[in-house]
Structure 1
Amino acid sequence: MGVIATNSNKITLIYNGDNSIGKQTVGYVESASKDILTKDTSKTKITGTQWAEIADNLQLSICDLVDQNHPNFIKIYGDEKVDITADDCIKILQNSPETLAYAILINSNEFHLIKTPSDVEKYLEIKSNNSNQ
């Protein structure tokens, strides 16, 4: 059993509120037909174990979740490609949460990487007031 609670009736969105993509993604998720739990990493700490579980469920390296082009990352590590460990990436995500590259959507027990806000539509049943299709 993982440390991140999953629920078939609830959607969890992990994002950074300092990132425009994260903020916009919240709007899409709020249109879903399920209960929503949002975790803004700029306000809520995600543990190292939780980051490891997220990366594992996404079938990614933890370092794939770090935006190495983010100005705060470059300020610390420089703009050359750096070789960092998974432990380094966990510390980066915990201490500089604005470097989270993407939002993460957890729908039931499925984990999805959200690169653009509209990606949410692929994974959720969205409430619609009108249908033009």
Structure 2
Amino acid sequence: MISLATSPKQIVLFYNSNQKNHKEIFAYASSAGKHLLAIDVSKDKVAGTTWTEIADVMNLRVRDLIHTDHATFENKYGTDSNIDCDGAIKVLQKDPEMLIFPIAIEGKRAKEIKLYNEILEFFDVDTSSIHIP
């Protein structure tokens, strides 16, 4: 089980290595020159309390980490799914593909990374040296 401990000198990235955009964002984060703790949710089980801590840092509820209006969620769970926080934790633990966007955390700052350039907010990098898989 993974527990959350953050530092302003470290980027913590929750991502799914089975998703192409997540792998590309991981490549950007790897080039940061800061210590990177990359947590692959498809391989590592993340504790429910960690998901709660992530949501807290983002000023969200755990259920807000699940994009119920996204096609990936709707295709698996339907459009009428009402999910509470406990249900969201179970979904994130059992279906890592439901983490639609990677989440980057640095100190007390956290963000869903929807576009590649958003990870750049966490570091100063020369993007020409990034190898995108």
> What is the TM-score normalised by the length of structure 1?
0.83
Structure-2 change in CA distance of 1:43 and 1:70 (3 Å): farther
Gaps of 5+ in 1: none
Identity across the alignment (%):
33
Q: In structure 2, what is the Cα distance between the partners aligned to 1:4 and 1:76?
A: 28
> What does residue 113 of structure 1 align with?
112
> What does residue 57 of structure 2 align with?
57
Q: In structure 2, what is the Cα distance between the partners aligned to 1:74 and 1:100?
A: 13
C-alpha distance after superposition, 1:8-52 (max 9, x if no partner): 322111111122221110111112121111001000111110001
> What is the TM-score normalised by the length of structure 2?
0.83
Q: In structure 2, what is the Cα distance between the partners aligned to 1:102 and 1:33?
A: 22
Q: What is the DSSP-based 3-state SS (H/G/I as helix, E as strand, rest coil) of the residue aligned with 2:81?
A: coil
Answering whether residue 74 of structure 2 is matched by residue 95 of structure 1, we say no
Gaps of 5+ in 2: none
Structure-2 change in CA distance of 1:7 and 1:83 (3 Å): same
C-alpha distance after superposition, 1:74-116 (max 9, x if no partner): 35422x2321111111100001011102111111332122112
Q: In structure 2, what is the Cα distance between the partners aligned to 1:89 and 1:129?
A: 38
Structure-2 change in CA distance of 1:112 and 1:76 (3 Å): closer
Q: In structure 2, what is the Cα distance between the partners aligned to 1:67 and 1:103?
A: 12
The number of aligned residues is 126
Q: In structure 1, what is the Cα distance between the partners aligned to 2:33 and 2:126?
A: 6
Answering whether residue 17 of structure 2 is matched by residue 17 of structure 1, we say yes
Aligned Cα root-mean-square deviation (Å): 2.0
> What does residue 28 of structure 2 align with?
28
Larger Rg, first or second structure (1 or 2): 1
